[in-house]
Amino acid sequence: MYLRCSDERCSTKLELHQRALACPRCGDLLEVAAGPLMFSPQVLKELWWNRHSSRDPRDRSGVWRFREFLPDYPPQDIVTMGEGNVPLVPGIKSAGWAGLSGIRFKHLGWNPTACFKDLGMTVGVTEAKFQGARTVACASTGNTAGSMAAYAARAGMTARVYLPAGAVSPNKVAQALDYGAEIVEVEGSFDRALATVLREAGSEIYFLNSINPFRLEGQKTVMFELLEELGWRSPDYIVVPGGNLGNTAAFGKAFMELQGAGLIDKVPRLVVVQAEGANPLVRTWREGSDELLAVKEPRTAATAIRIGAPVSWKKALKVLRFTGGRAIDVTDDEIAEAKSVIGRDGIGCEPASATTLAGARKLVREGAIGRDSNVVAILTGHVLKDTDYIIRSRYTSAVIRTSAEVQAD
Ligand code: F0G
């Protein structure tokens, strides 16, 4: 395996463990690349399935179980908490609300730190440890911060997180504090926090935003686990929220690799959903622009995806083209309504995750998705990640009643 520039016109190659965040020649993002695989699809399917009954900590992880597609590390150096292995749950009321005959949720909020970031962090922090890093850093709207802090704590490293001041759910700040992170507050949006950490990350600090290609390697295994669960039959659509677009890039990479290895015949269409007030990918996609149409002051109550200049936008555009997918946006009111419906299904999620159901409904209403399509929505964060949002929301006030009111009924 090696690192490669993600712009195929450049394709500069670097040694796998070289400490670089961008291509030294053209400045584009890097990705992990591998030579031809030595396994047949059948052998891989059986190998991975058999690992379900193994006691090896790597096999208990929904990430490292697929290690034939990951960088290789000595087993004792892998920093894992058994991440992944989250169920695929049907949403009954959610399907009805969206106008679908069925919808299934892959709930990545049911991971060790209650969000999808753990899947990438297990690989990112393992690489940091392999490189001998003592301090890891990231900018974050909250979830990356908590996840990085937890995995860094497991690896005995210092975690420094840069948060947009006053724009992160208190639950997420609390989580990062509990795992012992150093917190740096930055005035302005996430984009500003990211620019700050990039300026400050010197050679002694290992950087763990999704620019880091090792994180995306972990996140891509979500699609390996999902497709295994579906008997290697691709759904018609996979719907995912879009913020910094790391997941979008990672899922697209997974589809390319799975198809290349003969594990799937059909590539699912990827639908990326952003909030209307923080929709740079949607603008760029709609205009067919080759330049990012950034949003200067992103606004949405779904703070996890309040991002105006996503780093992985070029990778995301490629993924949309490759999968025949699209980027759409939804309003904050639609997100709130979708979130309450997912809650009524007994599943729950944080606001950013609810963009998926709101987006699915929008596409059904437009006639772009048929009622009987096979749709999987990716829920990225747990319902308890942003409790202030729930308490503040209008719909809850309608169901909170005093005991006197109940007795009067
Ligand atoms: N959903 C949740 C709950 C998130 O926390 C994020 C991103 C996204 C969706 C978007 O994912 O960036 O891969 O497109 N959160 C980052 C953070 C930015 O700092 O926690 P993406």
175-193 pLDDT tens trace = 999 999 999 999 999 999 9
**pLDDT confidence of residue 396:** 54
**How many whole angstroms separate alpha carbon 268 and alpha carbon 146?**
31
Q: How many residues does the chain have?
A: 409
**pLDDT confidence of residue 397:** 57
Q: Which of 150, 192, 210, 212 is nearest to 306 (CA)?
A: 192
- Token pair of 88 as six digits: 């695929």
The CA 56 to ligand 1 mean position distance, Å, reads 30
Q: Is the pLDDT of residue 381 over 60?
A: yes
Residue 142 gets the label, from left (phi > 0), alpha (psi -120 to 50) or beta, of: left
Ligand 1 lined by 319 (C-beta under 6 Å): no
From residue 268, give the alpha-carbon distance in Å to each of 2, 319, 326. 27, 11, 12
Q: Which of 128, 138, 124 is nearest to 196 (CA)?
A: 138
**pLDDT confidence of residue 406:** 75
- Token pair of 265 as six digits: 């015949």
**pLDDT confidence of residue 68:** 97
The CA 278 to ligand 1 mean position distance, Å, reads 12
**pLDDT confidence of residue 399:** 64
Ligand 1 lined by 84 (C-beta under 6 Å): no
Strand partners, 205: 135
In this prediction, residues 65-94 reach a mean pLDDT of: 97
The CA 135 to ligand 1 mean position distance, Å, reads 22
Higher pLDDT, 81 or 35: 81
The CA 41 to ligand 1 mean position distance, Å, reads 32
Top mutation candidate among 106, 118, 143 for ligand 1, by most atoms within 8 Å of CB: 143
Contact, 34 vs 1, CB < 8 A? yes
Going by alpha carbons, the residue nearest to atom 19 of ligand 1 is: 140
- Token pair of 294 as six digits: 């950034």
Ligand 1 lined by 113 (C-beta under 6 Å): no
Looking up tokens 């149409």 gives 293
Ligand 1 atom closest to Cα of residue 219: 13
Q: What is the largest CA-CA distance in the chain?
A: 73
Ligand 1 atom closest to Cα of residue 250: 13
Share of the chain above pLDDT 90, in %: 92
**pLDDT confidence of residue 395:** 55
Ligand 1 atom closest to Cα of residue 245: 14
- Sheet with 182-186, strands from edge to edge, namely 182-186, 158-164, 135-139, 205-207
Pick from 25-39, 43-57, 75-89, 199-213: least confident: 199-213
Strand 30-33 with 2-5, pairing? antiparallel
Share of the chain above pLDDT 70, in %: 98
**How many whole angstroms separate alpha carbon 251 and alpha carbon 248?**
5
**pLDDT confidence of residue 407:** 78
Ligand 1 atom closest to Cα of residue 115: 3
Contact, 73 vs 130, CB < 8 A? yes
pTM, two decimal places: 0.96
Residue 165 gets the label, from left (phi > 0), alpha (psi -120 to 50) or beta, of: beta
The CA 254 to ligand 1 mean position distance, Å, reads 18
**How many whole angstroms separate alpha carbon 87 and alpha carbon 107?**
7
**CA atoms within 13 Å, Cβ hemisphere of 56:** 17
